[in-house]
Amino acid sequence: MSPETTVDRRTFLKAAGGAAATASLAGCIGDGGDGGGDGDDGGDGGSGGTLVYARGDHPENYDPQQTTSGEVAKVTNQIFDQLILFTPGSGGALEDGLATDYSLDGESANVTLREGVTFHDGEEFTAEDFRATYRRFADDSYDYYLGENRSGYGPFTLGNWVDSVNVQGDYELEIQLTQQYAPFLRNLAMFAASVLSKTQIESLGANPDDQVALGTDPVGTGAFALDQIDNENQRVRLTANDDFWGDGPQVDAVVFKTITENSTRVQDVINGDSHITDNLDSQSSQQVEDAGSAELLSKDGINHGYMAMNMARREEFRSKEVRQAIAHAVNTEAIVNQIYEGFASQASQPLPPGVLGRNEDLDPYPTDKEQAEQLLADAGYEGGFEFELATFSNPRGYNPSPIETANQVKSDLEEIGFTVNVNQFSTFSSYLDYTSAGNHDACFLGWYTDNADPDNFLYVLLDPKVDLEDVPDGQDWVSFDTEGYSTLNVSGWANTEYMEMVREAQRTYDEASRRSTYQEANALAHEESPWVFVDYAKTLRAANEAVSSYTISSVGGPYLNTVTIN
């Protein structure tokens, strides 16, 4: 355990900015050109107007405590604020949010809150609101606890680390932790730590099923307030919060509209019927670059796209040799260079570039079909076997062409005898439900960093969050119904050596010690291969020429409060 047990706000912000520097290639549109929005959702010209953000999927629930979906976070990050915020475009640097001062001392965090902030319904924001937010998400003794409706973020954002939240006054909080936890202040900036209204929470009633209704009528302190969720037309409309405590908003309203097809969605931006879009693939990126009325924004991302093999469901995947064989057979270089066409790089380990603890000595698995066949034979599965490969349809930044990617894997594995049945889902929400239940044999998923901390990849995605003694001796997997199991670990992997390393790293505040331990953990994950490590993708956005003052970020956002439409 490191003797360095105290982190104050000034030291923390300085360290956070430095650690984020390697991932900090900010993309920003300055003064926009003419044009912008002849469609029915277009801006009115000049200041104000309606900003239209086109996306690939339309969730129906916008409660930040009920989802793991980035599509939801795009909207909730406009409606809600967190105590601490990520600086736009910084790659993970932090700045004040609803808190103006904070420190982490051993197992205690002290927070001073911003005064004069109101929720969209006019209620004043105080320390009691954060206490209710925490208790709804993580305290099963609270009358308004969300229960089984809470997302997998509940435990690893606050639940596992917070023992109590004590209100010291209207604007003072003392948070007692269950242990030293290095990423804690960063966790307070995550979208899942959005501050809810105690008044709204308690008005919904004590039945957890009644609490679900918050997702259709979210009330926050953010730059925009909910106006309408139009599920029939797959649109969400927000209106400007004129009492917002921070910068902006500069437009009168924001509309999120859904267009599932990449090329169609990008053409909508080129035409000016939408202003910004994301999750571009190589073809749609080229469309933007060839257009004169839109701009392609790009920066290094902090994400990972992978294929997980479910050891809890399929006995064959419990063999390390089988997993390594699949890793050698899948041509990730072809996926990155031919399907994604250079907008991503091959992955070698769970941590993407620019994150503390990445092991630079690790290389991607080379494509070697002969080696793959030999490993299968050594494991007793010569000629492979039949399994399901689940995938989604809507583009994601870490996997912008999910069907083509699945077909590449299918082709690669069938060359060495496997029979791969691709199971394609039409909506991302239903896909997440399926994989969270552990119903898949293998599946594609990915992760955008929540807080730019290594714990957010190595612990969140590959530690099952169960007690070490609940992992049977000689076994490196557990079932999804093990007490405390986190379904974000869709591989069922439970390697106790790995678990001990990442849990030790999160308990120390010494950066050098954390870096060394995480490098070892990455090496072990590379060797054990619970995933096929596919890619690290760039963050890509298309913006119409009418847009000004928009900064793309690999952490948090999208930051729409400062955007203007010309």
The reported pLDDT for the residue numbered 7 is: 60
Mean pLDDT of 390-406: 92
Mean pLDDT of 282-303: 93
- pLDDT tens, position by position, 73-92: 999 999 999 999 999 998 88
Residue with tokens 């956002």: 557
pLDDT band at 279 (very low <50, low <70, confident <90, very high): confident
CATH class of the region 303-537:
alpha beta
DSSP string, 142-196: STT--GGGS-THHIIIIITTEEEEEEEETTEEEEEESS--TTHHHHTTSGGGPPP
pLDDT band at 380 (very low <50, low <70, confident <90, very high): very high
What number of CA atoms fall less than 13 Å from residue 275's CA on the CB side?
Answer: 35
What number of CA atoms fall less than 13 Å from residue 41's CA on the CB side?
Answer: 22
CATH class of the region 6-297+540-565:
alpha beta
Mean pLDDT of 225-243: 98
Residue 15 above 70 pLDDT? no
Token pair recorded at residue 398: 């870490």
Residue with tokens 């931006």: 269
pLDDT band at 21 (very low <50, low <70, confident <90, very high): very low
Adjacent-strand bridge partners of 255: 52, 237
Q: Where in the chain is the domain with CATH 3.10.105.10?
A: 303-537
- How far is 352 from 518, CA to CA, in rounded Å? 12
- If we measure between CA atoms, which residue out of 151, 199, 157, 159 comes closest to residue 178? 159
The reported pLDDT for the residue numbered 397 is: 85
Q: Where in the chain is the domain with CATH 3.40.190.10?
A: 6-297+540-565
What number of CA atoms fall less than 13 Å from residue 310's CA on the CB side?
Answer: 24
Number of other residues whose CB lies within 10 A of the CB of residue 190: 25
Residue 143 above 60 pLDDT? yes
Residue 335 above 70 pLDDT? yes
pLDDT band at 43 (very low <50, low <70, confident <90, very high): very low
Mean pLDDT across the chain: 91
The reported pLDDT for the residue numbered 246 is: 97
The reported pLDDT for the residue numbered 22 is: 36
The reported pLDDT for the residue numbered 353 is: 95
Q: Which stretches of 204-281 are DSSP H helices? A: 208-211, 262-271
- pLDDT tens, position by position, 150-162: 998 998 899 999 9
The reported pLDDT for the residue numbered 23 is: 37
Residue 216 above 50 pLDDT? yes
**What letter represents residue 565's amino acid?**
I
Q: Are 111 and 129 in contact (CB under 8 A)?
A: no
Residue 51 above 90 pLDDT? yes
Burial class of 448 by CB neighbour count within 10 A (0 to 12, 13 to 18, 19+): buried
Query: Distance between terminal CA atoms of the chain?
Result: 54
- If we measure between CA atoms, which residue out of 467, 454, 448, 447 comes closest to residue 521? 454
pTM over 0.75: yes
